[in-house]
């Protein structure tokens, strides 16, 4: 899990290091699927048909069902447990003989590489546990990116207790989605995505997964809220009170029709356990990402090429707009929008024939639009509507995250100087050494200018920067972009989210040129 706020927003995954895992994931729960249902599930897979709820449980009235047992029994064969293995190096702690500091024997043991020598890094095997679900008879499996990130080996355990190795087809850290593939001689029972937009607050939902490594488990609840935004640009979460715990990450959230309307991802908790506030990335977001990962092995999002902000009532009044909806263009760097004639000060009110209410809506619609195809954008300029035809670029290329023509990933900065800090991208090995979750993203403070503002504010080497300007950062470019945005907005400082020994705190650093 990776905490994202002082209120402990945690990803619902389980991490254990070494052989003494201390979790009961080796326990095998009793299987409640009857042989008849198992046979029906296999026949459905052979016929390339998704599993679904029995007709008598598909209530449209919203009345609480007498039991969820039939639904659980029907869809469970498509839910999987995921175990990942990776090798990380950790400094020895309390291993080998102990010598007084400065003893010549200390150097002797270190020089000859005896196991447990003080200061020696020792490889250890790290295991992470999570959940997932099958979406096709030929073995495609959806889970969270943080469940499998950095893994050397991935093993899938099916409800039948059969296990198969999996390979990664593609990942999308921005929505925390990963697509896996297993090879099986037999068709595999699978489930289908439903329309998450049709889910209403108060609808019954069912969460299946592998909580706390206990194996297949079901919990029920309702949709508590919709359209939750946690920390990402493309966030669209369903909030639910169905019990979600560590290990549920990547598992499905079902509606009463047996359709997946969400992927269980995170919980809000003061103690690491479920308190009835869980979040599932909506199926309408996940399904689009999965489709691109299947087709290309990566995401291909549209890119408009503008910097924007929401239109406030005061701004709308000052510009003579009839409403405060839309997205105000604050800058138009070189890119598709500039080529189409868009100007700073334009207010985008429609994109692709659909009304734009705020910047979040615009960002999501642009991302979903096809790359390289023209789209009509309606802007308000000097009180008059103007229609522009913009041929969208690709966001991943603009951000430098897409694969180049040779098929190699664009190189990431290993370190850089920003605001008096020397920063490096957080790697799984660093995460292990710093005692944070393997899936955490951010920048490690490697060194500081002792007379700089960062040092004055109490930032230290080893601190991890996970957010800036209330947005996540995973690269030096991300941080620099947030700093540039703060300067362009006329702000004197940028708010950083710092993690030290897992504990978060905010620090405002000056961004004056």
The residues annotated with a catalytic role in the active site are 146, 176, 249
Beta pairing, strands 443-448 & 421-425: antiparallel
Residue 93 carries which DSSP code? -
- How far are the Cα atoms of 22, 72, 128, 134, 465 from residue 163, in angstroms, in the given order? 22, 21, 16, 14, 38
* Nearest-angstrom CA–CA distance, 125 and 150: 12
- Contacting residues for 336 by C-beta, under 8 A, at least 6 apart: 303, 304, 305, 390, 391, 392, 393
Q: Count CA atoms within 13 Å of residue 5 on its CB side.
A: 11
- Contacting residues for 35 by C-beta, under 8 A, at least 6 apart: none
Phi and psi at 294, nearest 5°, equal -65, -40
Distance of CA 395 to the CA centre of its chain: 18
* Nearest-angstrom CA–CA distance, 69 and 78: 15
Residue 345, marked binder: no
- Which region holds residue 282: left if phi is over 0, alpha if psi is between -120 and 50, else beta? beta
Do the beta carbons of residue 90 and residue 124 sit within 8 Å? yes
Residue 146, marked binder: yes
* Nearest-angstrom CA–CA distance, 279 and 212: 17
Residue 249, marked binder: yes
Residue 247, marked binder: yes
Residue 284, marked binder: no
Do the beta carbons of residue 302 and residue 395 sit within 8 Å? yes
Annotated binding site for substrate: 146, 176, 247-249
- Residues annotated within the binding site are 146, 176, 247-249
């Amino acid at each position: 899990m990776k905490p994202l706020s002082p209120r402990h927003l945690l990803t619902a995954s389980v991490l254990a290091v070494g052989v003494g895992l201390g979790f009961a994931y080796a326990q095998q729960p009793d299987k409640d699927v009857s042989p008849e249902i198992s046979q029906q599930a296999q026949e459905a897979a052979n016929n390339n048909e998704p599993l679904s709820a029995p007709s008598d449980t598909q209530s449209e009235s919203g009345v609480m069902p007498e039991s969820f047992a039939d639904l659980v029994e029907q869809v469970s064969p498509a839910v999987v447990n995921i175990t990942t293995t990776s090798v990380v190096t950790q400094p020895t702690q309390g291993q080998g003989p102990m010598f007084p500091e400065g003893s010549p024997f200390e150097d002797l043991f270190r020089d000859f590489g005896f196991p447990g020598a003080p200061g020696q890094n020792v490889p250890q095997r790290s295991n992470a546990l999570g959940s997932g679900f099958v979406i096709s008879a030929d073995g495609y499996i959806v889970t969270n990116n943080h469940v499998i990130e950095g893994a050397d080996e991935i093993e899938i355990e099916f409800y039948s207790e059969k296990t198969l190795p999996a390979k990664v087809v593609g990942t999308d850290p921005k929505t925390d989605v990963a697509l896996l593939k297993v090879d099986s001689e037999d068709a595999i029972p699978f489930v289908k995505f439903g329309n998450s937009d049709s889910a209403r607050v108060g609808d019954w939902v069912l969460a299946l997964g592998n909580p706390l490594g206990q194996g297949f488990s079901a919990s029920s609840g309702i949709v508590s809220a919709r359209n939750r935004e946690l920390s990402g640009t493309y966030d669209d979460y369903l909030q639910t009170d169905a019990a979600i715990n560590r290990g549920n990450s990547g598992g499905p959230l079902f509606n009463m029709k047996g359709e997946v309307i969400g992927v269980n991802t995170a919980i809000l908790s003061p103690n690491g356990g479920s308190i009835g506030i869980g979040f599932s990335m909506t199926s309408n977001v996940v399904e689009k990402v999965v489709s691109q990962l299947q087709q290309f092995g990566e995401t291909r999002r549209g890119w408009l090429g503008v910097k924007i902000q929401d239109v406030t009532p005061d701004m709308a009044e000052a510009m003579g707009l009839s409403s405060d909806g839309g997205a105000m263009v604050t800058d138009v760097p070189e890119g598709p929008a500039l080529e189409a004639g868009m100007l700073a000060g334009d207010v985008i009110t429609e994109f692709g024939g659909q009304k734009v209410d705020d910047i979040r809506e615009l960002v999501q619609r642009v991302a979903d639009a096809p790359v390289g195809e023209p789209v009509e954008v309606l802007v308000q300029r000097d009180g008059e509507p103007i229609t522009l035809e913009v041929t969208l670029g690709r966001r991943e290329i603009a951000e430098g995250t897409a694969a180049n023509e040779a098929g190699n990933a664009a190189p990431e900065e290993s370190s850089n100087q920003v605001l008096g800090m020397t920063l490096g991208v957080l790697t799984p090995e660093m995460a292990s050494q710093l005692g944070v979750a393997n899936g955490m993203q951010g920048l490690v403070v490697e060194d500081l200018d002792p007379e700089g503002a960062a040092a004055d504010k109490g930032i230290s080497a080893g601190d991890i920067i996970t957010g800036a300007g209330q947005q996540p950062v995973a690269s030096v470019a991300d941080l620099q972009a947030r700093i540039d945005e703060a300067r362009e907005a006329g702000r004197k400082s940028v708010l950083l989210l710092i993690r030290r020994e897992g504990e978060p705190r905010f620090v405002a650093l000056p961004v004056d040129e």
